């Protein structure tokens, strides 16, 4: 069954989670993963990471990133329509000053309800509004497809090799480190780790853009 599993809104500058669906943060390893942020290369503002049976998609704009985890067979166009809808609602609801000065994780908890409702709607395609113009998103994705991140690109960060290779069966991009015992990792832990890494990469590129904007 194709479906959206979870979604989150994260501040690009420092990876601060601003809001998320109620089922998002199930792993206790989130804080441990944040120390790898600065070891990542820069990433574009629209990306997809395929991790076996699951895909992670995200877009970013105005210093905020919108991420979602879905099954591998969930339609790509619907995934980015979902993220685009989250982005438009968040920008309409909160101004940049408020997001830039936020200090507590999940301080926009009231937005969680919108994420949850939108996720449920996109998981039941028959309930989607007929006003949605999927053709526009299909054209946009065709003209500017999301950057495909490989697991190998993220593997250079220290500690990534600790992930269970079984979770990435078939990718051929993860191997166990020599003389190192691998501990089993749950799927939520892996997903949380990858999302944290992506947030860190976005911090770098958005930071540079913010500085350039101030200097212009």
| DSSP code at position 80 | H
Is residue 47 within 8 Å of residue 58, measured between CB atoms?
Answer: yes
Residue numbers of the chain with a pLDDT score lower than 50: 24, 27-41, 130, 157-182
Cα angle, residue 58 at apex, residues 57 and 63 outer, rounded to 5°: 175
How distant is the alpha carbon of residue 107 from its chain centre?
18
Q: What is the per-residue pLDDT for 14?
A: 80
Cα angle, residue 16 at apex, residues 10 and 20 outer, rounded to 5°: 45
Sheet holding 64-71, edge to edge: 17-20, 4-11, 64-71, 54-61, 46-51, 147-149
**What's the per-residue H, E or C state across 11-33?**
ECCCCCEEEECCCCCCCCCHHHH
How far is 106 from 12, CA to CA, in rounded Å?
14
Which H or E run includes 4?
A: strand 4-11
Identify which of 85, 69, 64 has the alpha carbon closest to the alpha carbon of residue 9: 64
Burial group, residue 126, by CB count within 10 angstroms (0-12, 13-18, 19+): exposed
Which H or E run includes 54?
A: strand 54-61
| Residues 6 or more apart whose Cβ sits within 8 Å of residue 114 | 86, 89
Domain layout of the chain by residue ranges: 4-168+183-215
Q: What is the per-residue pLDDT for 45?
A: 84
CATH homologous superfamily of 4-168+183-215 equals Longin domain (3.30.450.50)
Is residue 42 within 8 Å of residue 205, measured between CB atoms?
Answer: yes
């Amino acid at each position: 069954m194709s479906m959206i599993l979870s979604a989150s809104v994260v501040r690009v500058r420092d990876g601060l989670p601003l809001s998320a669906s109620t089922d998002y943060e199930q792993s206790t390893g989130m804080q441990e993963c944040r120390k790898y942020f600065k070891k990542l290369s820069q990433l574009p503002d629209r990306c997809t990471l395929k991790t076996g049976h699951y895909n992670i998609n995200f877009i970013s704009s105005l210093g905020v990133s919108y991420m979602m985890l879905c099954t591998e067979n969930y339609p790509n166009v619907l995934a980015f329509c979902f993220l685009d809808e989250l982005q438009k609602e968040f920008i309409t609801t909160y101004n940049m000053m408020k997001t830039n000065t936020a200090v507590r994780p999940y301080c926009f908890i009231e937005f969680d309800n919108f994420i949850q409702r939108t996720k449920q709607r996109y998981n039941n395609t028959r309930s989607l509004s007929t006003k949605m113009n999927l053709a526009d998103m299909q054209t946009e994705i065709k003209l500017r497809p999301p950057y495909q991140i490989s697991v190998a690109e993220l593997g250079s960060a220290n500690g990534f090799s600790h992930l269970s290779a079984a979770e990435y069966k078939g990718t051929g991009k993860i191997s166990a480190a020599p003389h190192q015992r691998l501990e089993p990792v749950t799927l939520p832990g892996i997903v949380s780790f990858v999302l944290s890494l992506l947030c860190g990469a976005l911090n770098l590129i958005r930071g540079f853009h913010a500085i350039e904007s101030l200097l212009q």
